[in-house]
Each structure stands twice: as structure tokens, then as C-alpha cells.
């Protein structure tokens, strides 16, 4: 039964293997991971529903979408995270009043994430260098 469900989720488009999983199940896992990062990294437990949950395979992104997601040149003028939080400890100070919250690589090639509080709380994750995920709360 599980094997058949997995076979139904797989397709090949223009030579690229794409998985179309059961969206609601995948969404629940992504939100659970994001809630954990919100509570642990920036000390902001989020029990309510997020404003949005997005996920897309990295190989299907355009170059512009990939650059926006990866945050190339995303240094911003913003207030520092809460004193004592992990986010403050990991903050890269790029210049006067310019701060950049970078990616935290948990396991190279398998999992990385970052949190941002520029516009509400945003948690981004990349699973297996394949699936790009973003969850946001206001």
C-alpha cells in the first residue's frame, strides 16, 4: 500500500524527477519543523496557524526564484533579535546597522534552515537540497 502511494507521487518532467506528495501531510510536517525552529531559535512559540506555507522543489525554481529564496544580498537594516536568543548568537553583522541572518546547516546536503524577523517571523528550510520550504507568521 505504501509503495503504491509512493509510485503515484513520482513523475518525470523534462528529465527531472519530481515528487508530488500528499500536500496536506507534507504541509503538516513542514509546519511542525517551522514551529520547532521558531520556539528554539528566536524564542517565539507559534501555536496558531501560519499565514502561509510554501514548498517547491529546488530544481523547478527559476534562477530569480532561487536567488530570492536563498537570500543572496538579503542583508537588511532591522532591529537585532532578542538578547540571549540563538538568532542573536548566529547574527552576521555585515556593516553599520546592517544585519544578516544566514543559513544554519544541520547536516550538509540533508537539512538547513534559517529564521528571519524582517516581516513577521519567517522560517525557511531546505530538505535534501531538493525541497525548499517557507512558513510565515505575522
Helix (H, G, I), strand (E, B) or coil at 33: helix
Q: Which of 13-17, 18-22, 91-95, 112-116 has the highest mean pLDDT?
A: 112-116
Interacting residues of 2 by C-beta distance below 8 A, sequence separation 6+: none
Q: Alpha-carbon distance 20 to 9, whole Å? A: 5
- Going by pLDDT thresholds of 50, 70 and 90, the confidence category of residue 101 is low
Helix (H, G, I), strand (E, B) or coil at 20: coil
pTM over the 0.85 mark: no
Positive or negative CA dihedral for 70, 72, 78, 81?
positive
pLDDT at 102 over 70: yes
Q: Alpha-carbon distance 98 to 102, whole Å? A: 13
Do residues 51 and 135 lie in contact, with contact meaning Cβ atoms separated by under 8 Å? no
Digit-coded pLDDT (tens) for 37-90 = 999 888 889 999 999 999 998 988 999 999 999 985 444 445 555 555 555 555
Q: 67-77 b/e with 16+ CB inside 10 Å = b? A: eebbbeeeeee
- Give the whole-number percent of the chain exceeding pLDDT 70: 78
Amino acid at each position: 500500500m505504501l509503495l503504491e502511494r509512493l509510485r503515484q507521487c513520482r513523475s518525470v518532467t523534462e528529465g527531472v524527477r519530481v515528487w508530488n506528495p500528499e500536500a496536506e501531510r507534507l504541509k503538516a510536517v513542514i509546519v511542525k519543523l517551522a514551529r520547532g525552529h521558531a520556539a528554539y531559535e528566536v524564542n517565539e512559540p507559534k501555536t496558531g496557524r501560519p499565514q502561509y506555507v510554501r514548498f517547491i522543489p529546488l530544481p523547478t525554481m527559476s534562477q530569480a526564484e532561487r536567488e530570492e529564496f536563498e537570500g543572496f544580498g538579503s542583508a537588511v537594516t532591522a532591529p537585532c533579535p532578542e538578547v540571549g536568543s540563538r538568532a542573536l548568537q548566529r547574527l552576521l553583522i555585515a556593516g553599520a546597522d546592517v544585519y544578516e541572518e544566514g543559513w544554519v546547516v544541520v547536516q550538509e546536503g540533508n537539512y538547513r534552515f534559517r529564521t528571519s524577523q524582517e516581516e513577521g517571523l519567517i522560517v525557511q528550510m531546505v530538505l535534501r537540497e531538493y525541497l525548499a520550504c517557507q512558513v510565515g507568521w505575522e
